[in-house]
């Protein structure tokens, strides 16, 4: 689907590219402004907007086409633009749309991999379509496989339609395009070597253990129930049908409820009838699992210190007095967390490896052009 209007500066966008010699690349950026270039009002996009995006659609966060990427080499600069949606609509309604024969096919072109889109002579199989989705940012993948699947297919159709027309016009044979291809190849290769370094780096156990010791608190969590007795001055509103009470009265009520629970009354039932936190109260006081840093300090300290199944004394917070009952306390071991820890460590280690790699290469910058290096 093509967007009705043009995006404003600062709008987040992502681009899908497929120029000659390259296949299916995705990257993100923002619209930085509108610029008059050679008599056309084009959207300027932050660089680099996409690896291999020349000729591909620029999408907004709703999956709508807001432009088509064009790279221009001007005065030694690689400039990234997008032809606005208004011009795209004119093109699609005209000759190029008429020439695009798009058919969803139910017959399989090969066992297990049927052709699902046809644009003129070009086809996209089910596995190819899935690979396009795999290259999207994580936040868009679920949408593209769900309710926006047809919409995403429309974006690919636009890309194929326009790239076919570009080839008819021999735009893929121009020096400008070839320069863009070389620039994008370097960009893609740089991304691939970063990925390769991150995946193949050997991480010593001692380094992982050190990271675990520094971060293990992030993986500790408890599941608890609570009953809140609101006191005057609490930021939580007074529940319907109840009156505001002072701190002394609130504390006395919390102690009385504690005795009733100690005498055998059900904590969840009392939370439903007595808790001033009506949200969790409706669930028997259940707060679910939470990690450190999620609750106010006094509540967190009490919850993480309590033995499982032991009722707390009344705990004072800005909200009032709480009775806390911890039902589960989880603290994963090093062995359980090691794969996840290594995954988190790899990007930073890869960046360090790249810095070391750069130090091994002779680099010279003309200081008369760039100015002196900063200390």
pLDDT at residue 81, as a whole number: 64
Q: How far apart are CA 294 and CA 220, in angstroms?
A: 12
Of residues 187 and 309, more confidence is placed in: 309
Residues 47 and 128 in one domain: yes
Does 138 share its domain with 256?
no
Q: Give residue-wise pLDDT tens across range 55-79.
A: 567 776 666 677 777 655 443 444 5
Any domain includes 208? no
Q: Which domain holds residue 225?
A: 215-331
> Could you read off the pLDDT of 155-213 as tens digits, one per residue?
899 989 999 999 999 999 999 999 988 998 998 888 888 888 888 888 999 999 999 98
Whether the predicted pLDDT of 248 surpasses 80: yes
Is 365 inside a domain boundary?
no
355 domain-assigned:
no
What's the pLDDT score for residue 198? 85
Contact 122, 100 (CB under 8 A): no
Cα 217 to Cα 293, 301, 331, 363: the distances in Å are: 10, 13, 8, 43
- Do 1 and 137 fall into the same domain? yes
The Cα–Cα gap between 64 and 67 comes to 9
In the predicted model, what is the mean pLDDT of the chain?
80
Q: What is the pLDDT of residue 21?
A: 38
For residue 2, name the pLDDT band (cuts at 50, 70, 90): low
> Would you give the end-to-end CA distance of the chain in angstroms?
50
Tokens linked to 253: 């009520």
Q: Is the pLDDT of residue 326 over 60?
A: yes
Residue 49's domain is classified under what CATH number? 2.40.10.10
Choice between 93 and 189, residue whose per-residue pLDDT is larger: 189
Where is average pLDDT lowest: 100-114, 263-277, 309-323? 100-114
Backbone dihedral region of 178: left (phi > 0), alpha (psi from -120 to 50 degrees) or beta?
Answer: alpha
| CA angle (110 as vertex; 109, 111 as ends), nearest 5 | 130
What is the sign, positive or negative, of the torsion defined by CA atoms of 9, 10, 14, 20?
positive
What pLDDT is stored for residue 300 in this prediction? Answer: 94
Backbone angles phi, psi at 171, to 5 degrees: -70, -25
* Domains: count for the chain: 2
Higher local confidence (pLDDT), 42 or 40? 42
pLDDT in tens, 118-130: 998 889 999 999 9
- Rounded to whole angstroms, the Cα distance separating 275 from 271 reads 5
Mean of the pLDDT values across residues 330-334?
88
Examine the domain organization and report whether 81 and 107 are in the same domain. Answer: yes
What pLDDT is stored for residue 121 in this prediction? 84
């Amino acid at each position: 689907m093509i967007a009705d209007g043009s995006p404003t500066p600062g709008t987040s966008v992502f681009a899908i590219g497929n120029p000659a010699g390259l296949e299916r690349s995705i990257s993100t950026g923002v619209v930085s402004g509108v610029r008059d270039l050679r008599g056309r009002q084009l959207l300027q996009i932050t660089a680099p907007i996409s690896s291999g995006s020349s000729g591909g659609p620029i999408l907004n966060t709703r999956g709508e086409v807001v432009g088509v990427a064009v790279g221009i080499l001007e005065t030694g600069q690689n400039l990234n633009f997008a032809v606005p949606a208004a011009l795209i609509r004119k093109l699609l309604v005209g000759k190029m749309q008429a020439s695009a024969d798009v058919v969803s096919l139910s017959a399989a072109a090969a066992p297990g991999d049927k052709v699902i889109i046809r644009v003129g002579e070009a086809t996209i199989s089910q596995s190819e379509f899935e690979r396009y989705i795999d290259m999207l940012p994580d936040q868009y993948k679920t949408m593209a496989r769900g309710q926006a699947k047809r919409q995403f297919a429309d974006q690919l159709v636009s890309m194929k339609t326009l790239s076919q027309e570009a080839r008819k016009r021999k735009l893929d044979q121009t020096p400008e395009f070839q320069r863009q291809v070389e620039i994008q190849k370097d960009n893609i290769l740089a991304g691939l070597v970063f990925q390769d370094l991150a995946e193949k780096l050997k991480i010593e156990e001692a380094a992982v253990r050190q990271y675990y010791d520094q971060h293990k608190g992030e993986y500790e969590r408890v599941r608890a129930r609570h009953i809140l007795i609101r006191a005057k001055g609490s930021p939580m509103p007074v529940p319907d049908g109840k009156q505001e009470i002072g701190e002394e009265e609130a504390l006395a009520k919390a102690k009385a409820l504690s005795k009733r629970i100690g005498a055998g009354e059900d904590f969840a039932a009392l939370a439903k009838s007595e808790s001033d936190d009506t949200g969790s109260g409706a669930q028997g006081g259940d707060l679910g699992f939470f990690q450190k840093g999620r609750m106010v300090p006094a509540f967190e300290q009490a919850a993480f210190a309590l033995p499982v199944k032991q009722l707390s004394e009344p705990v004072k917070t800005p909200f009032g007095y709480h009775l806390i009952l911890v039902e589960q306390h989880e603290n994963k071991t090093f062995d359980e967390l090691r794969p996840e820890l290594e995954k988190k460590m790899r990007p930073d280690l890869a960046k360090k490896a790249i810095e070391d790699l750069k130090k091994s290469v002779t680099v010279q910058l003309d200081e008369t052009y760039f100015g002196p290096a900063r200390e």
